[in-house]
Amino acid sequence: MTSPLISPSILSADFARLGEEVRAIDAAGADWIHVDVMDGHFVPNLTIGPGVVKALRAHTDKPFDVHLMVSPVDTWLQSFADAGADVITVHPEAGPHVHRTVQAIKALGKKAGISLNPATPAKMLDYLIDEIDLVLVMSVNPGFGGQSFIASQLRKIEAVRKMIDRAGRPVHLEVDGGVDAVTARQCVDAGADVLVAGSATFKGGPERYAANIAALKGLG
């Protein structure tokens, strides 16, 4: 079984020492750095803006996997691209014309992702799969860390994997929400190749990060 890429969500990091935390997960084996951006409007929480992303950019060379849970989303694309995002993922519900949003992300020279909430069907990708670089399946409702995995999303992961395989393009399939050493295996078996993990990565403090990431990869 191929080990997935691990993209720790810094939403679960110690915000008082965020630069140190990013360096620590980089050294511990993180493949990407997942940045959850919430606006208190599209989702019921408020997190970080492009200024923080820009400040963190100097702390790692790993790709910044930026998930925008904001609405309207288009006005923020340039700011996060300039701050150092490598992948910018948006929700179809966060703007009036999601195809145009994808085009705008690509025009900024960034990889474009589409995020599907638990009630958003895989069919939403029908006319986007040929344009995007990543699909993010939310296995919790977005807005908070530490939620329990919604098992019904495994069927959606399987459906999206079939769509990606039919498209014949190198599209990553990422899962976010309630991912731990057990659900990680279920997600990979269903077709995921990137896992976002907040609590499961950061639990136990920096001395545990490498072991936590290894467990998520199925190596621990």
Q: How far apart are CA 79 and CA 93, in angstroms?
A: 20
Does residue 26 have an active-site annotation? Answer: no
Q: Tell me, rounded to whole angstroms, the distance of Cα 188 from its chain centroid.
A: 15
The residue from 36, 74, 133, 193 that is catalytic is 36
Burial of 114 (0-12, 13-18, 19+ CB in 10 A): buried
- Write out the binding residues for a divalent metal cation: 34, 36, 67, 176
- Residue numbers in the known binding site are 9, 34, 36, 67, 143-146, 176-178, 198-199
**Active-site residue (options: 65, 74, 176, 193):** 176
Neighbours of 168 (CB within 10 A): 8
| Residue in the block written with tokens 């040929």 | 130
CA angle 4, 8, 12 (to 5 degrees): 150
| Cβ atoms within 10 Å of 103's Cβ, excluding its own | 13
CA distance 10 to 209: 12
Question: Catalytic site residue 61?
Answer: no
Which active-site residues does the annotation give? 36, 176
